[in-house]
Amino acid sequence: MSGYFWENKGLEEMTRQEWESLCDGCARCCVYKLRDDDSGYILYTNVACRLLNMETCRCSRYAERRRLVPECVVLNAKMRDEMRWLPSTCAYRLLANGRELPSWHPLVTGDPDSTRDAGMSLRDRAVPESEAGDLINHIVDVQPTGG
C-alpha cells in the first residue's frame, strides 16, 4: 500500500484539504457544455465562465461561486452522476471510477504547473463568455457520458 491519501481513501473519507487538492486546475469544468439529447453525448465548448481567471485558470470568486453563478456545480463525493459531466481526465471522476491519477497530476509530480506543462490546462485556449457569441460555434470536444 502506498502512502498517497488518494490511493488509500475513498472520496467520502477525504478531508476538505485533501478533496480540494485533487483539483488539477485544468479549468475544463469551467467552460460551457451542451448535451445532445439524441445521442446523449456531451459537447464541450471552449467558452469560459465569466468568473474564470483566464491567467490562472482558477475561479476568481471561488467561495461565492454558487451564489454568483447558480448553474455552477459544487461537487461533493456523493455526486457520482454529476461527475459524468466532468472531463475524462478530472481527478474526481477518475477516482470515483476506481482509476488512478494521471502522471502529470500536480499531486503526483509535486509541481503545481504540471497540468499546464502537460497541455491539459485551458490556459490560453479558452474564450471569454463576453466575447464568444453562439456556443454552437465553439465546440472543441465531444464525449459520451458515463464512466
Binding site for ligand SF4 (CB under 6 A): 23-30, 49, 51-52, 59, 65, 69, 72, 86-87, 90-92
Residue 141, strand partner residues: 44
**Nearest-angstrom CA–CA distance, 125 and 128:** 10
DSSP string of 55-120, one letter each residue: TTTEETTGGGHHHH-TT-----TT-HHHHTTS-TT-HHHHHHTTPPPPTT-HHHHS-TTHHHHTT-
Q: What is the smallest separation between the CB atom of 38 and ligand SF4, expressed in angstroms?
A: 25
Residue 142, strand partner residues: 43
Q: Closer to ligand SF4 by CB, 1 or 121: give it.
A: 121
Cβ count within 10 A of residue 117: 11
Q: What is the smallest separation between the CB atom of 40 and ligand SF4, expressed in angstroms?
A: 20
